[in-house]
Structure 1
Amino acid sequence: MDFFWNYLAAVNVVGFVLYGYDKFLAKAHQRRIPERILLLAAAAGGSPGCWLAMVLFRHKTRKPKFKFGVPAILLLQLALAGAYWYYFVR
């Protein structure tokens, strides 16, 4: 179970850093991180970190794919975690 929590912590940090670095690249007019990589970081379990970075850095908040997609991924992951807890842990 420690691996699971370590994985979640790592993927959230990576997601947060990716979104922050992409914002930095955008301001510097440099080549950007592909959107599919940013969304993959959220889908891999890093949706809380990605969403937090979106809010803090005000990055990707106008694009519907991110504005609605990342929170939808987060809600889906929370629902799956709740179902897992309900059926297997309690």
Structure 2
Amino acid sequence: MNEIFISWILFVSIWAFAAMGYDKRQAKRKARRVPEKNLWFLAFVGGAIGSYAGMLIFNHKTRRTTFRIGFLLLAVVYILLILYLLGIDILKITSR
């Protein structure tokens, strides 16, 4: 079951990363954009890691404090969830 959740997070992160890249390209072209609520939705349902990576790599939405902080916090939550599902005890690692 853990593999399913991790696979979901990976899948949605790739999707969110691509959405950030597409939205950046559309912004440069002054064409129809991806609605912000869709970007947030992808981040909330598991794509926060991809959203944050896309934000940094494409330099997109970096001036928006809600995106910078929100995507970062969600990404940290999903990274911790992945570590938990993999059985990695973060407290043991930090106490060495």
Structure 2 contact 52–72 (Cα < 8 Å) conserved = yes
Asked if residue 7 in structure 1 is aligned to residue 8 in structure 2, the reply is: yes
For residues 43-62 of structure 1, the aligned pairs below 5 Å read 43-62=44-63
User: Offset at 1:56?
Assistant: 0.5
Paired amino acid for 2:32: R
Count of aligned pairs: 86
| Distance change (3 Å), C-alpha of 1:71 and 1:19 | same
- Name stretches of at least 5 consecutive residues in structure 2 with no aligned partner: 90-96
Structure 2 contact 49–78 (Cα < 8 Å) conserved = no
1:37 corresponding residue in structure 2: 38
1:8-62, Cα deviation, whole Å (9 max, x unpaired) = 2210110000000000000010011110110111111111111111111000000
- Name stretches of at least 5 consecutive residues in structure 1 with no aligned partner: none
1:77 corresponding residue in structure 2: 78
Paired amino acid for 1:76: V
- What is the RMSD of the two structures over their aligned residues, measured on CA atoms? 1.8
Separation in 2 of the partners of 1:47 and 1:15? Answer: 7
User: Offset at 1:7?
Assistant: 1.1
Separation in 2 of the partners of 1:75 and 1:5? Answer: 14
User: Offset at 1:83?
Assistant: 6.2
Paired amino acid for 1:23: K
TM-score (norm 2): 0.77
